[in-house]
Amino acid sequence: MVNPGAASIQLLQRQAASLLVYQSVLTDSVGQAFLRLLQVLRHSDAEGINCLYAYGSWFKSLAHCSQSWQDYLLTQLLRDHNPFSQQVQLRGVTMPPALIAAVRQDLQALQSLYQCSGEQLSQWVQSAAQLPVAPIAWNQKQTVGAQGFAPFSCDSAQEKLVREKLQQLENWADAVEVLAAYYQQFGTGLFAQYRAFRWQSGQLSGIINPDPIELTHLASYESQKAALVKNTEFLLAGYSALHVLLYGSRGTGKSSLVKGLLNQYSSSGLRLIEVSKSDLKDLSIIVEQLRDVPQKFIIFVDDLSFEEDDDAFKALKVVLEGSVTARSQNVVVYATSNRRHLIREFFEDRPRPREGDEVHAWDTVQEKLSFSDRFGLTLTFEPANQDTYLEIVQHLALQANITLTQEDLEYRALQWATRHNGRSGRTARQFVDFLRADLAVSGTKATTLNK
C-alpha cells in the first residue's frame, strides 16, 4: 500500500540525510526512532504492522524524555557539539565560509523536521495501518529536568528566548548569529546540559541530581565563606583565581561550602567536577579538556591526603605549581582535608645520619610538609565550640520552622551532640533533620522559633 504522504515522507528523509554539521542531533534513541519510523512509513507492509511497531518505539522514546518532538529537536540543537558550535566559542563567527553555509543548510533541513508534528505522523500511521482511529499523538510540552535531556538549563530565561526566536523565524538559516551567541555564552554538549560532573573511567559523566545545598544554609565560618566566594568570583570574572585547600575538623561544612558555590553561581557559568584521589593521575588530561571551554570549572577533591611516593601527589603538584604548558585560566582546584600536612610523615622519615642515606634528607621532609603551601589559599575550619554549634542549630532550625522554644531546642541539641558525633555543623544538620521529621510525625504544628 502506498502511503498518501509518501512524497512528504521522502522529503523528510532527504532532509535528515543531508545534514553536514548537525548530524549528531539525530543519533540518539529519539532521533533514530524517528528515522526508523519514516523509513517504515515509506515502505510499509500490506497490514502496516511494522509502522505500528515503529510508531510505538518513537512514542515511547519521547515519553521517556517528557518532550514533544519539537522541544526535543530544539534541545538537541542547543546542546549539539559540532565543528561550528565548538569553533564559535573560540573565535566567534569568523570561520570558513563553507562551514557557515553548511550550518545554514542544516538549519533549514532541521526546520523541516521540526515542522513535522506528532499529529501528522499519527495520521500517516493510521493510513498505512488502515486503522479506524489514529494512534494517540505525542504532544508533550517541554519539561526542564527530564532525565537524559534537559536536567539543567544554564539560564532558563535565555534558553527560552532562543527557542522563541527559532519558533518565530520563517527561515532558520537566519539563526546563525543567534545560535553563535548562545554557544559562546553557555557552551555545548555536556557542559550545557549539566552543571556537576564526576570523572570516572577516564571520562566526564554528568550528575543529574547534584547536592542542592545553598550557601544560605551554612551558618558560622563567615570569614572562610567570604574568602572562598571572593576567589570564585575572581574565577568567574576571568582573573587568575587561587587553588584552595579547605582544612579542618570533620563535619565543619567544608564540602558543603564548595557544593553551595555551584548552586550560587551555576547560572554564571560555574561548573563543578568531582575527582577522586585515585583519579588524580588524570588531572592534567582533565585540565586540557577544559582549556578552551567558555565555562569556569572547580575541580573538587574531597578528603585529600597522600601516602609517600603517591602518583596522585605528583599529578596534583604539577597542576598546582604549573609546568611548561600555560595554566588554564578557567580551572581551579578546591580540595578539602582533615590533615594540615597532606602527606603522611613518620618518625622514621626524620633524617638520621647513616651510610647510604640522602645527604639533603631534610629537603625531602620539608617538601612533604610544605605541600599544602602550594595551594594559593588555605582556609582553616576550627572545631565548633558550644556557642558555634548552637548558633548553627538555631540557623538550621529557623529555616526548617522548628516548633520549639530556644531553651528547649538548645537542650535537645546538646543532648544530641553528647550522644552522637560531638559538636559540629554536620551533627547540627543531622539533629535538625531528625527533629523536623520527629515533630512532623508527632503532629506538632510549625511555629516561628522563639528567640
Query: Which grid coordinates are listed for 421?
Result: 558525633
CA angle 245, 248, 252 (to 5 degrees): 110
Among residues 184, 204, 185, the alpha carbon closest in space to that of 194 is found at: 204
pLDDT at 6: 85
pLDDT by residue, tens only, the chain of 451 residues: 555 678 899 999 999 999 999 999 999 999 999 999 999 998 877 678 899 999 999 999 999 988 899 999 999 999 999 999 989 988 887 889 999 999 999 999 999 999 999 999 999 999 888 899 999 998 765 444 444 444 444 446 778 889 999 999 999 999 999 999 999 888 888 888 899 999 988 899 999 899 999 998 888 888 999 999 999 999 999 998 999 999 888 888 899 999 999 999 988 889 999 998 888 889 889 998 898 888 999 999 988 876 655 666 677 777 777 655 667 889 999 999 876 554 454 445 445 555 545 444 434 444 444 556 678 898 988 888 888 889 889 988 988 888 788 899 989 999 998 888 788 888 888 999 999 898 888 875 444 444 4
pLDDT at 180: 93
Give the integer Cα–Cα distance in Å for 361 and 347.
13
What is the CATH number that goes with domain 215-381?
A: 3.40.50.300
Please count the other Cβ atoms lying within 10 Å of the Cβ belonging to residue 155.
Answer: 16
DSSP3 helix / strand / coil % (the chain, rounded to 5): 55, 10, 35
pLDDT at 92: 80
Give the integer Cα–Cα distance in Å for 159 and 423.
45
pLDDT at 371: 59
**Contact assessment for residue 341 and residue 371, using Cβ atoms and an 8 Å cutoff:** yes
- In the chain, the largest separation of any two C-alpha atoms, in whole Å, equals 96
Among residues 198, 193, 163, 189, the alpha carbon closest in space to that of 178 is found at: 163
The H or E element spanning position 246 is: strand 244-248
Alpha carbon 208 to its chain centroid, in Å, reads 7
Backbone angles phi, psi at 135, to 5 degrees: -60, 155
Query: So where are the chain's domains?
Result: 6-192, 215-381, 386-442
pLDDT at 147: 41
pLDDT at 111: 96
